[in-house]
Amino acid sequence: MNKQADLYIEESNEVYDALVVGSGVSGGWAAKELCERGLKTLMLERGRVVEHQKDYHTEGKGVWQYPNRMKVDNLLLEEQYKIQQQCYAFHDGTKHFFGNDKDLPYSTEEGTKFSWIRANQLGGKSLLWHRQSYRFSNYDFEANKLDGHGNDWPIRYKDIAPWYSHVEKHAGISGNYDGLDQLPDSEFLPPFDFTKPELSIQKKFAELFPDRPMVMGRTAHLSKATELHLSQGRVTCQARNECQKGCSFGAYFSTQSSTLPAAAKTGNLHIAANSVVHSLIYDESSKRVTGVRVIDNETLKPREYYAKMVFLCASTLGSTQILLNSTSKSFPNGLANSSGVLGHYLMDHNYNAGAFGFVKGFEDEFYSGRRPTGIYIPNFQFEPKRYKKGYQRGYALAGGSGRANWQQMSRGKGIGADFKHQLTQAGTWFFNLQAQGEMLPRYENQVSLHPTKKDKWGIPQLHINCQWSDNEKAMMADAEATAKDMLIKAGLENVSSYNSIEGGPPGLAIHEVGTARMGHNAKDSVLNQFNQSHDIANLFVTDGSSFCSSAVVNPSLTFMALTARAVDYAVKEMKAGRI
């Protein structure tokens, strides 16, 4: 991003065309689309500015260059990162991109746990995500209506398909054209390669389990940069797999590498960093939001910003917290909450089961680089007639192969020349499968504001009540058995399996969705089919809180498509004088 002198602001009395709250995947897309349509847009970010390339200060730093070899000091873990350290991407080279738990408290219902992973800086979690990118299918949009869990999605695949194409071409999605109804193809860059053991296992799975195709994982990486991507200053992925440190190549999609430069290029963007949104300002007479109340992240001083339209993109829980804390005479229980469902139907994906085994042979095969994706077996229980006995909905299986190397052997016992020699030799090939299960939408899984506890900015803390149901537990029991059975029948050796659902709290998938859901009417939903508030015409919410179900696939690509679609609608409504 080319830093313009007037890009970053603090105080402003200007009435912008649009305010965007949040700068992650959804916020970046909202800003890009609004600015490119000519709207003067102010992006609000509660954390600090992170500039592309300049602020990736651990990028390329070797493990040996860290005092504790990438491990974070125990005192810091206890005081600042008690929750964040549970994330797969957390280590000494990425900790500066994670939220400080000491400053970001929340509470949970007695007897429950929820791990809220947060990244409060410009770019948000787009700097840390795992980049798996899949379209929802029509089966996903129809599931609630067909089996009776949750409310009916007010859209279908045909409504969002053009917007998937729109965002995919800009973001860059690597994958193969697989022609699967339950996993629609994207606008693809070339797929990454399977290893030889994976090709062998893929063939065996096709013979043994023809309803469970194994495909290459689809990922927001530039496997081959197009002219469009090169014009963004992005180049082909180097297969370093150090993505969460930040990527100066811009090879994976993030706000910094892709949408923010596009928005800034228009001259219509301003950014107010260190702006913790306290609440929205609502005008009772016009029945519109007119702006936001902000607390400065560092000085704790209040300020306000104003606009003709607001896009909430602060993450599922962040946006819901803002809405719950925005009360008025018309909305005593949270803004845009005439339905009473705001905060309810919280969902996350279930990654708590899988299997692992060793692959015979292939001693003369190895791989080049660190592939930024793995294999994927889409949900094979994608419609009611395919549901297994004992639970509803389904799961995908993801994983991949590798060879034991010095990293694994370094944890073993040994000394002397023979041990050093072993460290230079590749070990046995292994292969794993991990479940990614759907969570049913349930009213009792909810977030609310704590009646007494507040954070350092004076904002009521979120109180979370979210538990796995018997349906998710039965699903993971089946996923463990299924993954193990598949590996054994495919000829792997020493196959082991696991099911950790009793100890694995919701939240760690970092796919929370559902707390301000879309719907056909204001009686049972917060938003309409265009992510517009039923109650307030100039308020849009386009992050995961808008989801009616979690489906099985990773949600970020759908965040992007829904956001771009909502902006297109909002701008047309504004020009028609209805906003």
Statement to judge: residues 244 and 364 lie in one domain: yes
Instruction: Provide, for the chain, the percentages of residues in helix, strand and coil under a 3-state DSSP scheme, each rounded to the nearest 5.
Output: 25, 20, 55
Q: Which domain covers residue 108, as residue numbers? A: 10-172+253-348+443-466+512-579
pLDDT digits (tens, 9 = 90+) for 174-197: 999 999 999 999 999 999 999 999
Statement to judge: residues 557 and 578 lie in one domain: yes
Binning pLDDT at 50, 70 and 90, where does residue 2 land?
A: very low
Strands annotated E in 485-556: 493-499, 539-541
Sheet holding 269-272, edge to edge: 269-272, 41-44, 18-21, 310-312, 539-541
User: 409 versus 565: which is more confidently predicted?
Assistant: 565
Q: Is the pLDDT of residue 516 over 60?
A: yes
User: How many structural domains compose the chain?
Assistant: 2
- Decide if 178 is inside a domain: no
Rg (CA), the chain: 23
pLDDT digits (tens, 9 = 90+) for 96-126: 999 999 999 999 999 999 999 999 999 999 9
What value, to the nearest 5°, has the Cα angle with vertex 421 and ends 415 and 424?
A: 120
Q: Across residues 227-240, what is the average pLDDT?
A: 94
Q: Is the pLDDT of residue 218 over 80?
A: yes
- Decide if 238 is inside a domain: yes
pLDDT score of 427: 84
Statement to judge: residues 111 and 166 lie in one domain: yes
Statement to judge: residues 541 and 392 lie in one domain: no
Statement to judge: residues 355 and 332 lie in one domain: no
Q: Is the pLDDT of residue 288 over 90?
A: yes
Q: Is the pLDDT of residue 253 over 60?
A: yes
d(CA 579, CA 577) in angstroms, rounded, equals 6
Look up the pTM and report it: 0.96
Tokens of 315: 């993450």
pLDDT score of 171: 98
- Decide if 67 is inside a domain: yes
pLDDT score of 455: 97
CB count within 10 Å of CB 421 equals: 10
What does DSSP assign to residue 259? I
d(CA 30, CA 536) in angstroms, rounded, equals 18
pLDDT averaged over the chain? 95
Statement to judge: residues 418 and 556 lie in one domain: no
pLDDT score of 409: 64
SS3 230: helix
Of the listed ranges 201-215, 245-259, 405-419, the one predicted with least confidence: 405-419
- Decide if 186 is inside a domain: no
Burial of 51 (0-12, 13-18, 19+ CB in 10 A): middle
Q: Across residues 281-293, what is the average pLDDT?
A: 98
Statement to judge: residues 114 and 40 lie in one domain: yes
Statement to judge: residues 164 and 235 lie in one domain: no
Statement to judge: residues 297 and 247 lie in one domain: no
pLDDT score of 275: 98
- Decide if 139 is inside a domain: yes
Query: Of 452, 477, 505, which residue is a domain's last?
Result: 505
Statement to judge: residues 479 and 554 lie in one domain: no
- Beta-bridged to residue 396, according to DSSP, are 436
- Decide if 30 is inside a domain: yes
Sheet holding 446-454, edge to edge: 107-108, 460-465, 446-454
What is the pairing mode between strands 310-312 and 539-541? parallel
Q: How many residues would you count in the chain?
A: 579
Statement to judge: residues 241 and 257 lie in one domain: no
Binning pLDDT at 50, 70 and 90, where does residue 407 land?
A: low
pLDDT score of 424: 77
Query: Of 452, 484, 505, which residue is a domain's last?
Result: 505
- Decide if 182 is inside a domain: no
User: 38 versus 70: which is more confidently predicted?
Assistant: 38
SS3 139: helix
| Percentage of the chain exceeding pLDDT 70 | 98
To 10 degrees, what angle do helices 556-575 and 25-36 make? 30
The domain spanning residue 304 has which CATH number?
Answer: 3.50.50.60
Q: Across residues 247-274, what is the average pLDDT?
A: 97
> What's the sign of the alpha-carbon dihedral 542, 548, 553, 554?
positive
- Decide if 181 is inside a domain: no
Q: Find, among 73, 86, 152, 157, the residue nearest to 118 by Cα.
A: 86
Statement to judge: residues 356 and 343 lie in one domain: no
Tokens of 327: 């009360």
d(CA 276, CA 302) in angstroms, rounded, equals 9
Tokens of 325: 């804390």
Backbone angles phi, psi at 494, to 5 degrees: 50, 50
d(CA 490, CA 357) in angstroms, rounded, equals 10
User: 2 versus 494: which is more confidently predicted?
Assistant: 494
d(CA 168, CA 557) in angstroms, rounded, equals 8
What is the pairing mode between strands 302-307 and 15-16? parallel
pLDDT score of 418: 79
pLDDT score of 1: 41
Query: Of 454, 481, 505, which residue is a domain's last?
Result: 505
d(CA 452, CA 446) in angstroms, rounded, equals 18
Cα dihedral 348, 254, 546, 305 in deg (nearest 10) = 130
pLDDT score of 209: 98
